[in-house]
Amino acid sequence: MKKWFELEQRGSSVSTELIAGFTTFLTMAYAVIVIPAVLSSTGMDFNGAFLATGLTIIVATLIMGIFANYPIVIGPGLGLNAYLAYSVVSGSGHSWQTALGAVCLSGILFFLISLTPLRSILLEAIPASLKHAITAGIGLFVCFIGLQSAKVVVASPATLVTLGKLSEPTALLSCIGLILSLVLMVYRVKAALIVGMLITGILAYWQGMLVLPEHSLVVPNGLEKTLLQLDLSSIWQQGLYSVVFTFLLITLFDTTGTLLGIAEQAHILKDGRLPRARGAFLADATGTVIGSLLGTSPTATYIESGSGVAAGGRTGLTAVTVAALMTLTLFFAPWAKVLSTIPAVTAPPLIIVGFFMMNSLRHIDWQNIEEAFPAFLIMATMPLTYSIATGIGLGFIVYPLLKLLRGKYGEVHPILYLFMALFVFQMTLQSH
């Protein structure tokens, strides 16, 4: 084991890696409740989505840990999870089977791109300001969904949205749960989000809002309701090219940025480059394809992996430990399902994750309107149009347009002009 994971070369030990894996698991365990809860809003069976999410985390993380040997966890991402459920399915009226088909196709494309230099070309073609804006815009979108779920923000015939009645049970308990989670985070409790969810669940039970499950432990079941249910043919029939592109683009940015950030934190970068980077990208791409076949949203590199690195994790043994703990979690599906039915339990993590994603805004030059306004447009329109794809499209149109009008067309990569033309076609000539 020491030889396979290169423990001595990286200055680590088995005990340190196990502790790091346990730490990472505690910080990201909330995802296995929140993600199936969001997916079930599309009509998907909760047990199937829960098992698909857990299995995807296990498989993708094992690939990352064993073959890439990095202390990094991969699983369905919360931002793309919300986009799939609330924009592609609920917002645009597509079936969840069609959405899974788009996920699968984006994963296959990501896999192929990871085998070629095209991945680097795409990353270099997109301006940094737009990349940061996409991340922040998804954060606002996820936060908006959390506030709606909590009934803190409600519909209004006069102003479209307004403040909800905070004395209403769901809104009040959501606010209490949010404050609890924030206090735990301020005190640097590793499992702040999952502990906050559990305490909120106890309060919900005390208020008569939560019914305890009949069985605490069950053999994992329900996967047959989501397994191989994806619909690829409808992608062409319904013209979901922008959806596939959005899944692909965000997965590409998220994986690259998070991987490099955590690798730098773990001191495993060499001359600013990531060794075995291809294996790491292929792990994410494989996870997305497998997840779509099982019945869950696109995978992403979990930023919570940084907590395990902070605890001393330096090798893939940390990731393998997380996968082992996630395997045990699959037997607690009844508890996950009960907690997922209470919006006050799942809304605070959505709001807090949205906050974390806003951190990238500090990298944007707000004094340069050519860079800043397209970024602002992306962030503003994602939640307001309830579509991540629309936000990206508007930003990718306005950015090169401003550069052209300023006579700086040479500063824009040719690929971005191609994206601009495609989005103009998508938004003006094709039916939405």
Residue 2, pLDDT score: 57
* Mean local confidence (pLDDT), 107-123: 86
Q: Where are the beta strands (DSSP E) in 123-186?
A: 153-156, 160-163
User: 103, 43 in Cβ contact below 8 A?
Assistant: no
Top pLDDT among 153 and 119 is at 153
Q: Are 342 and 176 in contact (CB under 8 A)?
A: no
| pLDDT for res 197 | 92
Radius of gyration for the chain, computed over Cα atoms and rounded to the nearest angstrom? 21
Task: Decide: helix, strand or coil at residue 432.
Answer: coil
Query: Taking residues 91-104, what's their average pLDDT?
Result: 92
The owner of tokens 């305890």 is 212
142: enclosing H helix or E strand:
helix 128-149
Tracing tokens 């940084």 back to the chain, one arrives at 306
**Predicted confidence band of residue 272 (pLDDT cuts 50, 70, 90):** low
Q: Nearest Cα to 17, choosing from 27, 28, 6?
A: 6
d(CA 189, CA 61): 24
Q: Which of 2-6, 303-307, 344-348 is the least confident region?
A: 2-6
Structure confidence at residue 271 (pLDDT): 66
Of the candidates 87, 74, 54, the residue with the CA atom closest to the CA atom of residue 296: 54
On the question of pLDDT at 298 being above 80, the answer is yes
E-strand stretches of 118-193:
153-156, 160-163
Q: What pLDDT digit, counting tens, does each position of 39-54 carry?
A: 999 999 999 999 999 9
> Strand pairing partners for 75?
300
Which residue ranges make up each domain of the chain? Answer: 2-352+367-428
- Say whether 273 sits in a helix, a strand or coil: strand
Rounded distance, CA 364 to CA 40, Å? 36
Percent of the chain at pLDDT exceeding 90: 53
Burial class (CB in 10 A: 0-12, 13-18, 19+), 389: buried
Determine whether 406 is exposed, middle or buried from the number of CB atoms within 10 Å of its CB (0-12, 13-18, 19+).
Answer: exposed
Q: Tell me how far apart the alpha carbons of residues 245 and 126 are, in angstroms, rounded to a whole number.
A: 13
Render pLDDT for 381-418 as a digit per residue (tens, 0 to 9): 999 988 888 899 999 999 999 999 999 988 899 999 99
Pairing status of strand 299-301 against strand 74-76: antiparallel
Whether 283 has a pLDDT exceeding 60, the answer reads yes
Which residue from 102, 431, 96, 75 is spatially nearest to 287, judged by alpha carbons?
75
Question: CA–CA separation, 279 vs 50, rounded Å?
Answer: 27
The Cβ-side half-sphere exposure at 422, using a 13 Å CA radius, reads 18
Positive or negative torsion for Cα 307, 308, 310, 316: negative
pLDDT tens string 344-366: 999 999 999 889 888 889 889 99
Residues sharing a CB contact under 8 Å with residue 270, sequence separation 6 or more, in sequence order: none
* Integer Cα distance of 419 and 120 in angstroms: 16
Residue 303 has pLDDT above 50, yes or no: yes
Q: Are 113 and 122 in contact (CB under 8 A)?
A: yes
For the cut 70, the answer to whether the pLDDT of residue 133 exceeds it is: yes
DSSP per residue, 280-349: HHHHHHHHHHHHHHHT-PPEEE-TTHHHHHHTT--SHHHHHHHHHHHHHHGGGHHHHHHHHT-HHHHHHH
- Distance from C-alpha of 291 to C-alpha of 295, rounded to nearest angstrom: 6
Mean pLDDT of 129-157: 91
For the cut 50, the answer to whether the pLDDT of residue 432 exceeds it is no
pLDDT in tens, 158-193: 899 999 999 999 999 999 999 999 999 999 887 888
Beta bridge partners of 74: 301
From the list 101, 16, 34, the residue with the least C-alpha distance to 293 is: 101
